[in-house]
Structure 1
Amino acid sequence: MLQDNHGRQFYYLRLSITEACNFRCQYCLPDGYQGPSADSFLSKSEIQTVLSAFAGLGTSKVRITGGEPSLRRDFTDIISVTANTPGIKRVAMTTHGGRLAQKAREWKAAGLDQVNVSIDSLDPRQFAAITGQDKLKEVLAGIDNAAEAGLDVKVNTVMLSQFDEKRLTRFLGWIKDKPVTLRFIELMQTGEHEGFFNHQHQSGQPVKEWLLSQGWAPLIRRKDAGPAQEFYHPDYQGKIGLILPYSKDFCQSCNRLRVAANGNLHLCLFSEQGLTLQPYLRENDIQGLQQYLQKVLVSKEATHHLHEGQTGATKHLAMLGG
């Protein structure tokens, strides 16, 4: 089992397979993608080496991220490789949802269990302004298709400064009869967007207090769950999740590690440049990679340093998929 010096065990791998994305979200890639080409990213065989090494050390959940992972032509194959790796029990992905309506059933058949879709507004004009794409209708259709295909659907919403009670009420009305988990995420500072963060960040703590006052109750976390605090209400089919990275003791329950699309291991979303795994990946050296992972994990810090404005090497969230 992968365990650090703070007693935390790591069941959950976030695996980025590309940095590319064709949306232009204000808080991530407002000028569009201008990063490395596709040949800079992990090959399918290298991905298999990563998966086998982590699974052999107790990892049971893998989230495939980007950028936008579905931009890879071999994405369905990557889902299948992940789902068929011994020890991996749950396969998730994070997506902007632009291809979900056409691909949900195909991805489910390949072994996908869960999909997280980014929707920062249910107003079509505001959605287009935030993402640079007038595709809210297609994304919402994709969510319906994903649920019908049997996928566990979560919707991610980044809380920006214009996030108000009216917008919250609209989202709550949307999940009244829709069996999805709606997760509100505090905006996190990244290296290229300090000014945007200073202007747009707002705490999610008032939202949590409001939910509790309205009869929402906490859910028990799964062992391989991500960082969200989840809540349910008997009058709603949907659930609410809150990801509050600036809250006290946020990192105490950390159970996830990250491998970037370039093959670097990141012990934290906001750590420094990352630790290259390429010598092991080139040689398909699973045992050597496992020994290396166990060795470097002891240096994982107890917490991130976002409160001090230290964002590490994360220039934008597309680098590591959040």
Structure 2
Amino acid sequence: MLEDKFGRRFHYLRLSITDVCNFSCTYCLPDGYACDSDRDFLSLPEITTLVNSFAKLGTSKIRLTGGEPSLRKDLPQIIEQCAKTPGIDHVAMTSNGYKLDKCVDEWVAAGLDSINISIDSLDPRMFASITGHDKLESILGGIDKALTLGLKVKVNAVLMRQYNEAEFGGFLKWIKHMPISLRLIELMQTGDNVSFFNENHVSGEPLKQQLLQQGWGQIIRDKAAGPAQEFYHPEYAGNIGLIMPYSKDFCSTCNRLRIAATGKLHLCLFADQGLDIRPFLQNNDEMGLQRELVNLLGNKEATHWLQDGYTGATKHLAMLGG
């Protein structure tokens, strides 16, 4: 089992398979994707070595991220490889939903268990303003299709004062009859968005208190769950998760590591740098990689230091898929 010096165990791997994204979200890539480094992304054989090694060290959940992971033509093969790896019992993906309605059948057939779709507004005009794409209707249709296929669906919405803060009530009405998990995420400061962050950050704590006052109860976290504080209500088909990275002790329950699309291990989303493990992948050296992972984990910090305005090497969230 991968365990750090603070006793945190790592069951959950977030694997970026590309940093390319076709959306231009205001809080992440407002000017669109820019190719500013090597695009030599991990190959399927390298991903196989990586996933096998993590699984043998106790990882049970893989989340495929981007950029936008559906831009990789071999995505179904990557999903299938992860799903058939002994020890991996859950394969998830985070996507902007651009290809959801057309491709979700193929992803489920390959072994995908759950998907997180980014929808920062339920108003079509606001959605287009945030993302640069008038795709809300087709994405919502894709979610309906995914639910029909038995896929577990979560919807991510980044809270922003000047864009969607007033939509909280609308989101609540939506999940009254939608069996999904809505994730409301505090905007995080990155290297490229300091001014935007200062103008738009909204704390999730008042929303938490509002939910508790309205009869929502908190759900106990699973060992491989993400960072959200989850809430349920007996009168709602869906539930709500709040991701509040600026809250006290947020990092104490960290259970996930990140691999960038070019083969670097990031011990934290906001680490100083990625740690190159690609030589092990290129040589199919699972034993060597496992030893290196155990060694490198000794350098994981207790916290991300976001509360002090520190963003590390993370210029924007598309670099590692959040």
How far off is 1:125 after superposition?
0.4
Listed one character per residue, the Cα deviations across residues 177-218 of structure 1 (whole Å, up to 9, x for unaligned) are: 110000100000000111111111111100000000000000
| Paired amino acid for 1:104 | V
How far off is 1:165 after superposition?
6.7
Of residues 116-125 and 27-36 in structure 1, the stretch that sits farther from structure 2 once superposed is 27-36
Task: Report how many aligned residue pairs link the two structures.
Answer: 322
Q: CA separation in 1, counterparts of 2:100 and 2:222?
A: 26
1:118-267 aligned at under 5 Å gives the runs: 118-162=118-162, 166-267=166-267
Runs of 4+, deviation exceeding 6 Å: none
The residue matched to 1:141 in structure 2 has which SS? helix
1:280-295 aligned at under 5 Å gives the runs: 280-295=280-295
Task: Give yes or no for contact 1:98–1:142 (8 Å, CA) kept in 2.
Answer: no
Task: Give yes or no for contact 1:177–1:237 (8 Å, CA) kept in 2.
Answer: yes
Listed one character per residue, the Cα deviations across residues 64-107 of structure 1 (whole Å, up to 9, x for unaligned) are: 00000000000011000110111100000000001111111211
Task: Give yes or no for contact 2:92–2:115 (8 Å, CA) kept in 1.
Answer: yes
How far off is 1:220 after superposition?
1.3
Q: CA separation in 2, counterparts of 1:37 and 1:302?
A: 30
The residue matched to 2:223 in structure 1 has which SS? coil
Task: Give yes or no for contact 1:19–1:35 (8 Å, CA) kept in 2.
Answer: no
Listed one character per residue, the Cα deviations across residues 125-165 of structure 1 (whole Å, up to 9, x for unaligned) are: 00000001010001101111111111000000000013667
The aligned residue for residue 297 of structure 1 is: 297
The aligned residue for residue 4 of structure 2 is: 4
Task: Give yes or no for contact 2:121–2:164 (8 Å, CA) kept in 1.
Answer: no
Percent identity between the aligned chains? Answer: 61
The aligned residue for residue 70 of structure 1 is: 70
The aligned residue for residue 112 of structure 2 is: 112
- Within the alignment, does 1:308 sit opposite 2:315 as a pair? no
How far off is 1:166 after superposition?
4.2
Listed one character per residue, the Cα deviations across residues 21-48 of structure 1 (whole Å, up to 9, x for unaligned) are: 1000001111111125784111111111
How far off is 1:232 after superposition?
0.3
The residue matched to 1:158 in structure 2 has which SS? strand
Q: TM-score when scaled to structure 2?
A: 0.98
1:29-108 aligned at under 5 Å gives the runs: 29-35=29-35, 39-108=39-108
Give ranges in structure 1 of 5+ residues lacking alignment. none
Shift in alpha-carbon separation, 1:276–1:164, aligned structure 2, 3 A: closer
Query: What's the Cα RMSD here?
Result: 1.1
